[in-house]
Amino acid sequence: MKEQEKIDYQRIAEAIQYIQTNFMFQPGLEEVADKVNLSPFHFQRLFTQWAGTSPKKFLQYISVEHAKKLLKENQASLFETALETGLSGTGRLHDLFVNIEGMTPGEYKNGGENLNINFSFAETPFGNVLVASTAKGICHIAFAEDETGSLQILRAKFPNAVYKQVLDIIQQNALFIFSHDWSKLHQIKLHLKGTDFQLKVWEALLKIPMGRLATYGDISRHLQNPGASRAVGSAIGANPVAFLIPCHRVIQSTGIVGGYHWGSLRKTAIIGWEAAHMESSVS
């Protein structure tokens, strides 16, 4: 990510954090702009460019009340409704076919021996990501503020694999989801390391449409295991593919956004960004 883009993202992240902390007081444009040392005009323009909507509307999207509203509207069977209804337009995640192909037991045991893994770093609206792929599909996406540390985490997962820094077509197809260039999306395959239960949870996450939220209980009921909310939470926390497998769309039943492997602030920003883009696509 270019230096100016990093500065812009940090300013927007700081603004979101301030709004999130003070949403009950409904801070105005001038107040938030002052916190990030920008003029109201410049801040409004930068924020709208980044989020696709005004700071005022974004405040509504990222607030806990927005999450509660989404839950209330679908309280009978939110997850089933999301699966059946989806959202119209090119932003609909149902238009993206993702095939999960779990790694073999042998690939588990030998730490990725005989696997050739390509990796690269890319900029997104939420910071740098490290994306990695095998010949079968995407095996890893993670937000990477520290590129060296992020690569070490990837290597620890597959210590015996052969690594090459190169951006391949598999990675490019996956990265299009950040730019919303849906016309260039081809079939995306995932080559993931996980237990049978984890793979089922991750597959369920892929069925939550963009702009919708689900709870841990919704997913456990969808898997016909209503008492497994804690296990579902653990599987979500182990998700190795950021954003593409949308674990950020799962919140607590109380409407609280909750934790996120790559930071609760980033999770809140993604939820608001998706809601803003979905509204603009149907308006």
Residues labelled catalytic:
247
Residue 120's DSSP bridge partners are 131
- Residue 265 per-residue DSSP state: H
Tokens, residue 240: 């190795």
The radius of gyration of the chain from alpha carbons, rounded to an integer in Å, stands at: 19
Task: Report how far apart, in Å, the C-alpha atoms of 241 and of each of 187, 202, 206, 246 are.
Answer: 16, 9, 11, 8
Tokens, residue 261: 């492997």
Burial (CB count <10 Å: 0-12, 13-18, 19+), residue 25: exposed
Residues 156, 175: Cα–Cα separation, whole Å: 23
Residue 266's nearest CA partner among 145, 126, 141 is 126
Residues 155, 157: Cα–Cα separation, whole Å: 5
Residues 254, 140: Cα–Cα separation, whole Å: 31
Tokens, residue 129: 């990501």
| 3-state SS, residue 163 | strand
Residues 209, 86: Cα–Cα separation, whole Å: 6
Q: Which residues contact 169 (CB under 8 A, 6 or more apart)?
A: none
**Runs of H (alpha helix) within 63-195:** 64-73, 78-85, 105-109, 147-157, 169-179
